[in-house]
């Protein structure tokens, strides 16, 4: 359920017309609905009601501090993958005890900052990383709480660039090496083993891969306990898909995912940690853009818009589908037209959609890309020296700019003309 609807012929975010945001903030602009964000968090968290859980929102999906604060106020924790994300989570009011730290390449400085913040758990992905963490913890006279991210060798569908749970992927400790890794960790004085972690991929549209991974980890937890390890946390990562429209499959409902987790982890006596990103933020945001030109090609109509691949990378990188709608509702008898929707960047990959049926549009019209709240602004760049897209959050009939559009001077202020010696 998302709060982007036509009211009196104009697409609104909650009670705010998108045309008003376009006029006052300019385009392109990301617009988030706080009501949708809150609803998605609650639907997800409620599906585990009664279980000992930590819902650690995956910050990488949308890391704006206003988004994090909105979720923090509902009790969310955070899954972070860098010192920068850790800082964002802390600034947004998420306490260290609700933060988990994932990622294959944590630096010693990041480990140190996370230990200072007293985080809940480090998801460790290799033995060299384990030894580095042990050394950093010992230098501070503390123990680092650790779950190994194990790689269950489960195929989770989705796009190959976001599938992570197969043994050929770079993630996690290989399944056959997991028990030896725990034995090695148990001997390190700076490490406290607390649990097991997996994350098998993203935009997963079926329950079967989750079921396969959970079953394998439940078996592993039993063996680890038999070997004397105290395992009281099971982090099953993120990955639950969202409906994007087009011909994508409808993903499982959070309630069905919750029921699966409950059934498979009954009597396991662990805290369940979840790292949802897309499921919380994805359908809470749109990218709002203006049509610059309608160009008639040899055999197609191009809609040249003011957003580009640097603003929303998903179509270029993953051939991702985002539903597109005009901001002004079309008249019911308007015949649709097939458009290639493209941005201003000098790359053919700067294409959002091909042969997309839309009502007839002209220069100055506004359109939105739906489901752009996750991995949208977070993956934006300044390629072509285009300013980072601003972000706006709506609450009821009010909105606030939560990331400003930088000026050209802002963008250049960290660059230097070198003053070489003669």
Instruction: Summarize the annotated binding site for pyridoxal 5'-phosphate as residue ranges.
Output: 239, 275-278, 375
Per CB under 6 A, which region of 178-186, 215-223, 233-241, 342-350 contacts ligand LLP?
Answer: 233-241
Does 61 sit near ligand LLP (CB under 6 A)?
Answer: yes
Q: Would you tell me the crossing angle of helices 108-116 and 83-91 to the nearest 10 degrees?
A: 20
Out of 202, 284, 289, 310, the only residue in the binding site for ligand LLP (CB under 6 A) is 202
| Cβ-Cβ contacts under 8 Å for 164 (sequence gap 6 or more) | 156, 171, 172, 199, 200, 201, 202
What is the smallest separation between the CB atom of 161 and ligand LLP, expressed in angstroms? Answer: 7
Alpha-carbon gap, residue 46 to 239, rounded angstroms: 18
String marking each residue 135-174 x if it binds ligand LLP according to CB under 6 A: ---------------------------x------------
Beta-strand ranges (E) seen in 25-182 are 29-33, 53-58, 77-80, 99-101, 121-124, 144-151, 173-174
Radius of gyration in angstroms for the set of CA atoms belonging to the chain, rounded to a whole number: 23
Token pair for 393: 């959050």
346 a catalytic residue: yes
Name the residue nearer to ligand LLP (CB basis): 21 or 121. 121
Does 209 sit near ligand LLP (CB under 6 A)?
Answer: no
String marking each residue 263-282 x if it binds ligand LLP according to CB under 6 A: ------------xxxxx---
Backbone angles phi, psi at 124, to 5 degrees: -95, 135
66-92 burial by CB neighbour count: b if 16+ within 10 A, else e? bbbbbbbeeebbbbbbbbebbebbbeb
What is the smallest separation between the CB atom of 299 and ligand LLP, expressed in angstroms? Answer: 31
Contact 292, 304 (CB under 8 A): yes
Residue ranges for the binding site for substrate?
Answer: 278, 314, 318, 347, 375
Q: Which helix (H) or strand (E) holds 356?
A: strand 351-358
Per CB under 6 A, which region of 4-12, 20-28, 231-239, 292-300 contacts ligand LLP?
Answer: 231-239
From the list 346, 408, 409, 417, the catalytic residue is: 346
Q: Write out the binding residues for ligand LLP, residues 102-121 only, by CB under 6 A.
A: 102
**Residue 128 CB-half CA count within 13 A:** 5
Q: Which residues bind ligand LLP (CB under 6 A)?
A: 58, 61, 79, 102, 162, 199, 202-203, 237-240, 275-279, 314, 318, 374-375
- Residues annotated as catalytic are 346
């Amino acid at each position: 359920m998302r709060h982007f609807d036509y009211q009196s012929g104009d697409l609104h975010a909650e009670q705010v017309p998108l045309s008003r945001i376009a006029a006052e903030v300019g385009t392109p602009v990301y617009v988030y609905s706080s009501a949708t964000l809150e609803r998605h968090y609650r639907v997800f968290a409620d599906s585990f009601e009664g279980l000992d859980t930590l819902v650690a929102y995956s910050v990488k999906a949308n890391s704006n501090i206003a988004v994090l604060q909105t979720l923090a106020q509902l009790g969310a924790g955070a899954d972070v993958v860098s010192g920068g994300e850790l800082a964002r989570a802390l600034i947004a009011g998420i306490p260290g005890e609700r933060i988990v730290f994932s990622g294959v390449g944590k630096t010693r400085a990041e480990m140190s900052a996370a230990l200072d913040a007293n985080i809940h758990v480090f998801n460790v992905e290799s033995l060299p990383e384990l030894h580095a963490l042990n050394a950093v913890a010992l230098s501070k006279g503390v123990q680092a709480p650790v779950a190994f991210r194990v790689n269950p060798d489960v195929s989770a569908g989705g796009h190959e660039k976001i599938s992570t749970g197969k043994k050929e992927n770079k993630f996690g400790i290989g399944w056959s090496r997991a028990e030896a890794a725990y034995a090695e960790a148990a001997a390190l004085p700076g490490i406290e083993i607390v649990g097991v972690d997996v994350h098998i991929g993203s935009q997963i549209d079926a329950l079967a891969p989750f079921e396969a991974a959970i079953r394998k980890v439940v078996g592993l937890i039993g063996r680890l306990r038999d070997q004397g390890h105290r395992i009281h946390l099971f982090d099953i990562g993120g990955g639950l898909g969202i409906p994007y429209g087009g011909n994508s499959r409808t993903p499982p409902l959070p309630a069905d995912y919750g029921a699966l987790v409950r059934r498979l982890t009954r009597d396991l006596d662990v805290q369940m940690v979840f790292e949802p990103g897309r499921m919380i933020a994805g359908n809470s945001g749109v990218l709002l853009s203006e049509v610059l030109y309608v160009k008639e090609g040899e055999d197609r109509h191009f809609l040249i818009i003011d957003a580009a691949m640097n603003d929303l990378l998903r179509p270029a990188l993953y051939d991702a589908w985002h539903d597109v709608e005009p901001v002004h509702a079309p008249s019911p008898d308007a015949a649709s037209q097939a458009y290639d929707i493209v941005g201003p960047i000098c790359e053919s990959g700067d294409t959002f959609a091909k042969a997309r049926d839309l009502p007839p549009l002209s220069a100055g019209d506004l359109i939105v890309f739906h489901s752009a709240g996750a991995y949208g602004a977070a993956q934006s760049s300044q390629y072509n020296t285009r300013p980072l897209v601003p972000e706006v959050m709506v609450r009821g009939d009010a909105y606030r700019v939560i990331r400003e559009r930088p000026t050209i001077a802002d963008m250049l202020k960290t660059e230097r003309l070198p003053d070489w010696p003669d």
